[in-house]
Amino acid sequence: MTIIEAIILGIIQGLTEFLPISSSGHLVLSQVILGIQIPGNDFEVLLHIGTLCSILVVFNNDIKNILFTLSSKETQRFILMLFVGTIPAVIIGIGFKDEIGKLFDNIIVVGFALLFTGIILISSFYFKSETKKNTIIKSSLIGIAQAVAIIPGISRSGMTISFALFLGLDARQASKFSFLLAIPVISGAAILMSTELRDGFSIDIYIAISGLLTSFFVGVIALKWLLAWLNTGKFHYFGIYCFLIGILTIIA
């Protein structure tokens, strides 16, 4: 892999990790289309670390507020909801790790998963944005939606935000919970992949830095843009894109 290829994959990861169009699905398709061979999980770990840092930067005020108000019952309740929402992904991710890993080599599965993502996102047009509060039960349902998104081609942000809107949360609540919920999941995924590295990172240092920094900076831009876009009520537009890409993937 070259530095240019690392930058391209970093851009794709940074964009698709937050835009509701599935980062895993697009990384699989990109590697096939561009003919990029990435041995092992080294580079994928770095890209996930880059996008994780994007969340920490964009939501730094929310994270600091949580840390500085840990004694507050409201904060403790919010942390509990994040914990409950994380459990399904942990169970599915660890329990079916090998089976899910095989799906990344099946382009047809990715195509149908993108179709599914498209249908969910298009359906979100009919979800009325309300101001209902999040609850433990709602958090667990959003967590199940996040667990389903482990399948390559199903968007994590698309599923969690759509389900949050369906459950009555407004756009701001939905996006905030979705992306803060991503912190333990992305961290856990990176740690899990890191445990599989046998002899440390085998990627050239310049290639590694190129991918890491690109996914981080592009991730910050994409995340800020999506948060603004959510307020326009046009979230379902991404569904049309996913639906079309899914059809093209299956046909091709």
Q: 105-124: string of b/e by CB count within 10 Å (b at 16+)?
A: eebebbbbbbbbbbebbbeb
- The whole-number pLDDT of residue 144 equals 96
* Chain segment 172-224, per-residue pLDDT in tens: 899 999 999 999 988 887 777 666 655 555 677 888 899 999 999 999 999 99
Residue pair 211/7 in contact (Cβ under 8 Å)? The answer is yes
Rounded to 5 degrees, what angle do the CA atoms 8, 118, 107 make?
55
Residue pair 10/47 in contact (Cβ under 8 Å)? The answer is yes
- What are the backbone dihedrals phi and psi of residue 47, each rounded to the nearest 5 degrees, phi first? -65, -40
Rounded to 5 degrees, what angle do the CA atoms 190, 207, 46 make?
10
Residues in the chain, pLDDT under 50? none
- The whole-number pLDDT of residue 196 equals 60
What's the predicted TM-score (pTM) here?
Answer: 0.88
- The whole-number pLDDT of residue 244 equals 93
Q: Which of 22, 32, 33 is nearest to 242 (CA)?
A: 22
* CA quadruple 207, 209, 212, 216: dihedral sign: negative
SS3 track for the chain: CCHHHHHHHHHHHHHHCCCCCCHHHHHHHHHHHHCCCCCCCHHHHHHHHHHHHHHHHHCHHHHHHHHHCCCCHHHHHHHHHHHHHHHHHHHHHHHCHHHHHHHCCCHHHHHHHHHHHHHHHHHHHHCCCCCCCCCHHHHHHHHHHHHHCCCCCCCHHHHHHHHHHHCCCCHHHHHHHHHHHHHHHHHHHHHHHHCCCCCCCCCCHHHHHHHHHHHHHHHHHHHHHHHHHHCCCCCCHHHHHHHHHHHHHHHC
- The whole-number pLDDT of residue 84 equals 96
- What are the backbone dihedrals phi and psi of residue 17, each rounded to the nearest 5 degrees, phi first? -65, -30
